[in-house]
Structure 1
């Protein structure tokens, strides 16, 4: 009798292996040969689920975005009129989006790699644009609950702060440690 393979589980296994490779070596490290070795599969198995490198990387970026989205659902929006609760909610949401632990650090590294690559590779542009739109929506909703003036404009500002802090936290560009990132975010939310 042939062995049954759970296609969704196999795809997740391949995506997880790719995520590890991107984390340690960037997008160029995620060749089909290296992914197959990391996943302990043959290259044919990788090609069965992913037509090319771009499709695989889009799946990895989508998985990272989905993980962030699942964490965000743990924080329901505060009741209308409860400004302190709404500000606490906003801070929790923002903290889920920056590298404050190892998991979020890995996610930030992968996202930075894909975002940077989207400048030259149009295959990555749709997933990057969707993630940016999703981020804006989450931030606008959370900011609106705080009563902040012009939540759309504030969301742009906050998204830039999140991006900058994340870049500094995961690259030699800056030296923002986790405590600094958290303190800057708390200060920003307090000022709203």
Structure 2
């Protein structure tokens, strides 16, 4: 057990170092030597855990996506416990994609850097596609749940609306990244509320009974 924990901790230490390098200098700055220096370990130790730079990059991208997924799961669990509507929980989840603070800004820069690299790397493109499909699937499931609950009208195409909603949120994320001062958080939340309000037009039957 301690060996597994140590292995995971080293992986995290290395991938966190890669993320910091990407945020500060860009993806092209990442080398095994620089990552080792940033992580405070030897080149040999980094190479023990990652035999190639590509493996290190893939692990970093996967870790960033994993953190996003974990936060969304936590938000949903908390929202359900507090009796929030599906639309409210979905809005909270989507804001995790938008660079509204330093942590989310760092993750967005990593995703942006990998999006460029994925255009020329099939393995990274595969991870990127899998991540996008996963996000759209979660949004589609929220819409389906809304249909059952009464927040969404019958006959709505969940997959089609999920594609539009995720694309809209990612557009907001890009605008926030490019023009932070001109894209304040209240405006972003209002835009998300307006867009989600076109799909989540009803009231959950649980709320009506309450």
TM-score (norm 1): 0.87
Structure 1 residue 186: deviation in Å? Answer: 1.8
CA contact (8 A) 2:21 2:30 kept: yes
Give the CA RMSD over aligned residues.
2.4
Q: Which runs of 5+ in 2 are unaligned?
A: 200-210
Structure 1 residue 144: deviation in Å? Answer: 2.0
Aligned to 1:150: 157
Structure 1 residue 97: deviation in Å? Answer: 2.3
Q: Which SS does the other structure have where 2:123 is aligned?
A: coil
Aligned to 1:190: 197
CA distance in 1, matches of 2:178, 2:112: 10
**Who wins on radius of gyration, i.e. which is larger?**
2
Structure with the higher helix share, 1 or 2: 2
CA contact (8 A) 1:17 1:35 kept: yes
CA distance in 2, matches of 1:32, 1:177: 38
TM-score (norm 2): 0.80
CA distance in 1, matches of 2:9, 2:78: 32
Q: Which runs of 5+ in 1 are unaligned?
A: none
Q: Which SS does the other structure have where 1:169 is aligned?
A: helix
Q: Which SS does the other structure have where 1:99 is aligned?
A: coil
2:176 maps to 1:176: no
Paired residues, what number? 186
